[in-house]
Amino acid sequence: MIKILFYDVKPYDIPGFEKFGKERGIAFKFLESHLNHDTASLAKGYDGICVFVNDKIDKEIIDELYQNGVKLIALRSAGFNNVDVKAAFGKIHIYRVPAYSPYAVAEHAMAMLLTMNRRTHKAYIRTRDYNFSLNGLTGVDLHNKTVGVIGTGKIGKIFIDICKGFGMNVIAYDKFPNPNYDLEYVELEELFKRSDFISLHCPLTEENKHLINKDTIKLMKKGVGIINTSRGGLVNAIDLLDGIKERHVGFACLDVYEEEGDLFFEDRSGHILDDDTLRSLIAMPNVLVTAHQAFLTEEALFNIADTTTKNIVDFFNGNNNSNEVCYLCGNQENCKRKRKEKCF
């Protein structure tokens, strides 16, 4: 029986992982705690750990896990920017879930755009108080508006298809444009200047951290709408807040936030929020914040549990699996994964 310590569990995680764990010979121990410097020692005696996006796995934690015999970090997410993959190389193998439900995230991005454009959240609150006034609820037709999509992977492409269904004009930027997509690829500066709405669908890297900042916001149209369902670090939240205060940014839809780690996925309703920037953003009438909710569909939860448990079994059975990641993956000639081998 493979023993896996499962950090940062939520009630919606348990059914799928218990089901697939039982079927595939994995014994999960579920913890509500995040993985951090205080809880890393709890993994002693386990074959591997399972973590989510707000578990921070730096070199010190990796070294402690390695010394305690942990062989595998199973991410139940697509992104791995929260893991020091270079420090893990040669010690602990890392697997991820590259695509649990691109439809879930793309659909949530469009839901946020529609909500902010047509003020349906404000209309709901009004009518609950029998206020049937339409003042202040005017939106715009999405038809013929230009949406700039940054990142044209699976999620970005599905979001583009949804936008085309609304009759929107789509322009896109990707560091590696897909020649098989019928898209108008443009450089970032042009995308910022032409777009009525901008939606982010790219991973977070050192190169694109704070892609949305005071300088790029200045390039954008007055009244631009910004949607981020990818990673919080793509947006400099302070610069975004300034852009909103200056009436340059028309609205912002944020499912992610750079400093979300100790906030999102938890009930903080009885606490004072110390994060002044997030508190100010939430207070803005033209900002919609959801707490990293975009992935949360029944289909996505099923796929996350299915793929994560397959990753675990494949690793311990020595099977080839393309979901392994390391700091060499995809960017150097000596990437072993390209040769269908384990990373080390």
Active site residues: 231, 260, 292
332: CB partners within 8 A, 6+ apart: none
Beta carbons within 10 angstroms of residue 210's beta carbon: 18
Q: What's the farthest any 2 CA atoms get from each other in the chain?
A: 66
Beta carbons within 10 angstroms of residue 302's beta carbon: 16
Nearest to 186 by CA among 170, 173, 200, 198: 173
CA-CA distance, 76 to 28, in Å (whole number)?
A: 14
**DSSP class of residue 57?**
B
**DSSP class of residue 54?**
T
CA-CA distance, 78 to 94, in Å (whole number)?
A: 12
Q: How many CA atoms lie within 13 A of 88 on its CB side?
A: 27
